[in-house]
Amino acid sequence: MKILVTLADGFEEIEAINVIDILRRAGIDVVTAGLKDGLVEGSHGVRVMPDTSLGRINHKDLDGLVLPGGAPGFINLGKDERILNMIRELNQANKYVAAICGAPSVLIKAGVLQGRKATVHPSGEEEVRSCAQFSSDRVVVDGNIITSRTPGTAMEFALKLVEVFVGKKKMEQAKAQTLAICKGD
C-alpha cells in the first residue's frame, strides 16, 4: 500500500503530520511530496522537508492520495493541474482519494464529488452541498472517497484511513499505541 500526502505552502500542520505519522505507524508506505522542490511552510509557520516533489511522482504507482487542508494550502493544491489530474485518474481507477478540512473543495474542482457523500470544514458546506450529499459527520467514507472536517478531526481521519487501507486490526493497534480517543469511544 503506497499513499501520497501532498504538501503545499499553507498546509494545516496537524492534518498533514498527524496523517503521515499514523499511516506510517500502521506500516503504510507514505510518500510526502511538495508542489515544488524544497521546504514547504505550513499555515502556522512549521517548515517541513517533503520526501520528494510532485514532479517526481508516478501516480500510477500509488494506491491513494491524501490532501491536507489549511489556508492557503488547499487553495494552492486546487490551482495545480497536476493535482487535479492525479485526483481524477486515481478516482477513475477506484483508488483512494482523501481530503480533510478545506481540501474537499479541491475534489469538487477535480469533478469527483458529484453525487457523492462528503464532509468539509464548516466554511465549505455550501460548496459541497452544491454538488454532493453533505454530511456533518466528522469523517465520511463513500467508496474510495474519504473526507473529514477540521484539524480537530485529524486523528479520527487518520485512524479511519488506516482502517480503510489496511484493516480494523491495524487501526486498533495504531489507536492503542497512541492512546487515541475518538468521538464515540
88 and 81 Cβ atoms separated by less than 8 Å: no
pLDDT value for 11: 98
Supply angle C-alpha 6, 141, 64, rounded to 5.
35
Tell me what the pLDDT averaged over the chain comes to.
Answer: 97
- The string of pLDDT tens digits covering residues 159-174 is 999 999 999 999 999 9
pLDDT value for 47: 98
Domain ranges of the chain: 2-178
Catalytic residue (choose from 101, 132, 162, 174): 101
Map grid coordinates 483508488 to a residue.
95
- The string of pLDDT tens digits covering residues 68-124 is 999 999 999 999 999 999 999 999 999 999 999 999 999 999 999 999 999 999 999
- Give the mean pLDDT of 38-46: 97
What is the percentage of the chain residues whose pLDDT exceeds 70?
Answer: 99
pLDDT value for 105: 97
CA distance 100 to 104: 6
pLDDT value for 172: 95
Q: Amino acid identity, residue 133?
A: Q
- Give the mean pLDDT of 53-59: 96
The distance of Cα 145 from the centroid of its chain, to the nearest Å, equals 10
20 and 67 Cβ atoms separated by less than 8 Å: no
pLDDT value for 181: 80
Higher-confidence residue of 15 and 182: namely 15
182 tagged catalytic: no
**CATH number 3.40.50.880 is the correct assignment for the domain at 2-178:** yes
122 and 134 Cβ atoms separated by less than 8 Å: no
Q: Using the Cα atoms of residue 6, residue 10, residue 15 and residue 17 in order, give the sign of their dihedral.
A: positive
The distance of Cα 47 from the centroid of its chain, to the nearest Å, equals 19
